[in-house]
Amino acid sequence: MYKSTRNQLLFNNNNFLHLAGILFVLLLLSACHFDIKTSTQYLISGNEYFQAGDYANAEKDYRIALKRDPKSVIAKNNIGVVLCEEGRYDEAAGFLNQALLADPKNATAHYTLAKALAKKGLYDQALKEAQQATQLDPDEPVAYKVLAEAALAKDEKAVAIDAYQSAIKLDPDNEEYKAALSKLVDQTQNQPGKNP
């Protein structure tokens, strides 16, 4: 009887040790944070932050997405867009140029780069990038707006007027475009001897 009880105790001790080991491993695993989000999931959450105006968290998620997928043109582009919105134009231009090296037909990267270049006072380059954007995506009103702004910076009012008109054709309810065009036409008409 002693032997039988002893075997049962050993068996019970082994079960206890096995169970304790499993519980310990589970406890360790629950204490560790496993991040299993994909690059795409970080891009999506970054977009949600961006839409909410939370540029810091958008940038953070886009950078994680880029770390997960270093070749991601979308992550590079989106980081550039956020940096441009934050007024960090040099950094923005760097990421946008990387995106364009990988995808030269990325219209968004072209017009965002144009915006960054214009803010840096590089108007010739900005105009070139904006023109490229409108050629690549002739249905994007923002590209025409950026083209108009770059043209104005170079005092090319006729180009700016045409660009604003194109933007309004594509987005007829956009009051910002209408107001900018109206102001530009008024300025042009009030300058004697100058035609747009």
Q: Please give the model's pTM, rounded to 2 decimal places.
A: 0.77
Residue 121 has pLDDT above 50, yes or no: yes
What pLDDT digit, counting tens, does each position of 68-88 carry?
A: 999 999 999 999 999 999 999
Choose among 181, 182, 185, 187: nearest CA to 166. 181
Query: Which are the contacts of 122, defined by CB distance < 8 A and separation ≥ 6?
Result: none
Q: Identify the band that residue 7 occupies on the pLDDT scale cut at 50, 70 and 90.
A: very low
Residue ranges and CATH numbers for the domains of the chain are 36-104 (1.25.40.10), 123-196 (1.25.40.10)
Longest dimension (CA), the chain: 119
- Residue 8 structure tokens: 């049962």
**Which alpha helices (DSSP H) does the chain contain, by range?**
2-31, 39-51, 55-68, 73-85, 89-102, 107-119, 123-136, 141-153, 157-170, 175-189
Q: Identify the band that residue 1 occupies on the pLDDT scale cut at 50, 70 and 90.
A: very low
Range from 8-12, 28-32, 88-92 that averages highest in pLDDT:
88-92
Helices 73-85 and 89-102, packing angle to 10 deg:
160
What pLDDT digit, counting tens, does each position of 33-73 carry?
A: 556 889 999 999 999 999 999 999 999 999 999 999 999 99
